[in-house]
Structure 1
């Protein structure tokens, strides 16, 4: 399985570097365990205009059968976006990262889904339970059972 895991990620990394989607770029991908992907919202959304956000992808050897662990990370002037489905610790409540995952999805398609989620947002706010969640959240967002109840943002 390790062979298939690295072969698939190698193809995805090559595609991300050579044919990147608009607003999505590889910041760091030194191995097949952790990648940092930068995204920009490419519309006129005033909440995110001119900002770059960084996603951290962690891959298990079961990828692509199992979804990667994906969360926003803050570093050196890059902040975690404010959004009703993004907690202040960077955890993202998005079905494609959990129960809605399919092995046909890729790092690029996940990044584009998150980019689209940001582009469609018009509420500059955190989830209503942000403080409580962050205080008790597991280190890995994959250990959270999110409830997907509002797909309007």
Structure 2
């Protein structure tokens, strides 16, 4: 999943670039608990380390999120996936795609990278079993490279 070329992406708009610069400064001053972003010179792609919350089935585990920002961020949601190995979770496919409504239909420009990260750790923390989604094999076999090209059906509000 890390092999997708950023050169084929459109350049960030001035609004997106300014917003991401602001979020980056805020992240450095007040990072969300359980996350580490190792800053690079690529503002359009962030790789963020995610640490499982203590007291959950993911405690003491570390994963990586890749966040790719579209040209018109924050009016358009970023693409967020787990890099391999993706955590075993009922809403995370083995290819790293995440079934979480705020990444698609429920996105709001008021959301930030930090708020997305907090939603993801909340989703992880509420899981009681480590398992793949029931349709994992079929989805991974038939899906597009980008999860944003998937027509998601959000029906489980328990995890």
Task: Name the stretch that deviates more: 82-91 or 33-42.
Answer: 33-42
Helix, strand or coil at the partner of 2:144: coil
* Contact 2:53–2:125 (CA under 8 A) maintained in structure 1: yes
Are 1:83 and 1:124, in contact at CA under 8 Å, matched by a contact in 2? yes
What is the match of residue 30 of structure 2?
A: 19
SS of residue in 1 equivalent to 2:132: coil
The RMSD of aligned alpha carbons is 1.2
Q: Which runs of 5+ in 1 are unaligned?
A: none
1:43 aligned partner: 54
**Residue 4 of structure 1, CA deviation:** 1.1
- The secondary structure found in structure 2 opposite 1:38 is strand
Q: Distance in 2 between matches of 1:52 and 1:133?
A: 25
> Size of the alignment, in residue pairs?
148
Give structure 1 regions of 4+ aligned residues with deviation exceeding 2 angstroms: 27-30
Q: Any stretches of 5+ residues in structure 2 without a counterpart?
A: 1-11
Q: How does 1:4-153 map to 2 (within 5 A)?
A: 4-45=15-56, 47-74=57-84, 79-153=85-159
In the superposition, relative to structure 1, how do residues 131 and 26 fare at CA in structure 2: closer, same or farther (>3 Å)?
same
> 1:25 offset after TM fit, Å?
1.3
